[in-house]
Structure 1
Amino acid sequence: MNFINAAKSALKTKSLFSYRIYQHAQARKVYWILYAAGNKIDEDRIKQVGADRACAEWLLKCGAQVKFHSSSKFISDYNRLSATLGSNMKLAEVRAEEATIMSIGFPHFDGVKELKKLSFIRCTSFNDSCINQLVQYIGPTITKLEIIGCGSVTDKGVAAIKHFGVKEDWKN
C-alpha cells in the first residue's frame, strides 16, 4: 500500500492526525506534478540553443549548478546564463545538491559531449532510471560521478555505473 492509500484509509478514522497525513500526501502529489513540469523536455528549445545550453537551462531550473569549459566558476542562477552563451559553450561539470531533477528530464543530456564531472547530493528523485539514462546519453565522457544521500538509488543502479568505468563516489 502506497503513502496516498495509507493516508486515505487513515482519514476514515476522522482524527486530526489522520487528516494531517492526508494533507501531507496531497501536498507531495502536487509538488511532484510541479517538479515533473519543470523536468519536461522541450525539443524546440534544444534545436534552438543546442544540447549543452538546453541541458544547462534544465539543470538550473531544477536547482543544480553548472560549469562550462570556458569558465572557472559554477553558475547557479538561471538569469545569469547570459544570452551570449552560444552553441560553442560546452558543459564541463554539474553539481546537483537537493535539486528537483527527475528521470523524465534526463534526455536533456542527449547530445552533451564534453561533460566530465557530475555530483548528485541529496536529490530525492534521483534513482536507478536516472543512472541508466546517464549511461545511455553521456556514459563514455564522464570521468567522475558522485552520488551522495540519494536514497532512491539501489544496488541495481550502482551496478549500471560499473558499465562505463567512471571513478564514482558512493555514499548513502
Structure 2
Amino acid sequence: MRLLSEAVRSTVWKRSGNTRHFWGWLNAVFNRVDYERIKTIGPDRAAAEWLLRCGAKVRFLGFERWHRDYNALPTGPLGRYKIQGIDATESCIMYRGFDHLDGLQHLEEVKLIKCIYIEDACLERLSSTENLQTSLSCLELVSCGNVSDKGIIALHRLGNLQRLVLSDLPGVKDRDKTLERLQTALPHLDITVDL
C-alpha cells in the first residue's frame, strides 16, 4: 500500500509541475501584445481586452462601474471609451503586456494586489510610460512578492502620483531609505505603508 501511495504522489507531482508550466505558458499568451490590433481598435479598447483576458477589471472615464466580463465590453465608436482605472487584483498581467499601457491618456488609478507576475521591471515600465507620468494619481501595491526596493524607487518618475499604498511586500528590505528617497522625489505624495 505504501508503494502505491508513493507512485500516486509521484504521478500527481509530475502532473502538477506540467500544469504549472501550462498555466505559465497560457498567461504569457494572454499577455502578448498585438500591435496591429492596437492600431485598428485603439489603445484603450486593446488594453481593456488585454486586462480582462488576464482577469483584471477596468473602469472607463465617466462610468462608476467596473467591467470584468470580456464579452460585455461596451461597444460604440472607436475611441469613445477611455480607461480611467485598472484593478488587477489576482490577475495574471505581466511585464510583456505592459506595452498596452502606452496609449492610455486618462489612466488615473491602478491597483496591483496579489499579482504574482508583477516585478520591479513592471514598475519601471509603468513609471517610464510618458502618458502615465502625467495622468496616474493613485497606485496600490499589495502582496506582490517580486517587488523590491528597486521597483518602488522607480516610481519617482510618476510626477502626478498623489496617493501610494504599499502593503505586504516582502521583497522591500530597506523600507525607510526607500520611502525617504521616494518622498524626496515626490514631496506631495501621500504614502500609506504596511510593510
TM-score (norm 2): 0.76
Say whether 1:69 aligns with 2:61: yes
Correspondence 1:15-94 to 2 at 5 A: 17-84=9-76, 86-94=78-86
Number of residue equivalences: 159
Which SS does the other structure have where 2:164 is aligned?
Answer: strand
1:103 is matched with: 95
Q: Secondary structure at the match of 2:146?
A: coil
- Checking the alignment, whether the CA contact within 8 Å between 2:59 and 2:83 is kept in structure 1 is yes
Distance 2:65 2:138 in 1: 18
Q: For 1:8-67, what per-residue CA distance to the aligned partner results, in whole angstroms no more than 9, with x for missing partners?
A: xxxxxx865455443322221111100000110011110111111111111011111101
Identity %: 33
Q: Which residue type is aligned with residue 33 of structure 2?
A: I
Gaps of 5+ in 2: 1-5, 169-195
**Aligned-partner Cα distance in 1 for 2:92–2:150:** 22
Structure 1 counterpart of 2:167, which letter?
Answer: K
TM-score normalized by structure 1? 0.85
8 A contact 1:41–1:108 mirrored in 2: yes
**Counterpart amino acid of 2:135?**
T
For structure 1, which runs of at least 5 residues remain unmatched after alignment? 1-13
Task: Describe how 1:104-119 pairs up with structure 2 within 5 A.
Answer: 104-119=96-111
Equivalent residue for 1:149, pick from 143, 146, 154: 143
Judge conservation of contact 1:91–1:115 (CA < 8 Å) in 2: yes
Determine if contact 1:53/1:85 at 8 Å carries over to the other structure: no
Higher mean alpha-carbon deviation, 51-60 vs 21-30, is at 21-30
For 1:92 and 1:71, the matched residues in 2 are separated by 9
The runs of 4+ residues in structure 1 deviating greater than 6 Å are: none
Distance 2:77 2:59 in 1: 12
RMSD in angstroms over aligned alpha carbons? Answer: 1.6
Q: In the superposition, relative to structure 1, how do residues 82 and 163 fare at CA in structure 2: closer, same or farther (>3 Å)?
A: closer
Asked whether 1:171 is paired with 2:167, we answer yes
Task: Report what 2:171 is aligned to.
Answer: none
Q: Aligned to 1:97, what secondary structure does the other structure show?
A: coil
Instruction: Indicate the structure (1 or 2) with the bigger Cα radius of gyration.
Output: 2
**What residue identity is the alignment partner of 2:154?**
A
Matched residue type, 1:160: A
In 1, the alpha carbon distance for the partners of 2:154 and 2:12 equals 39
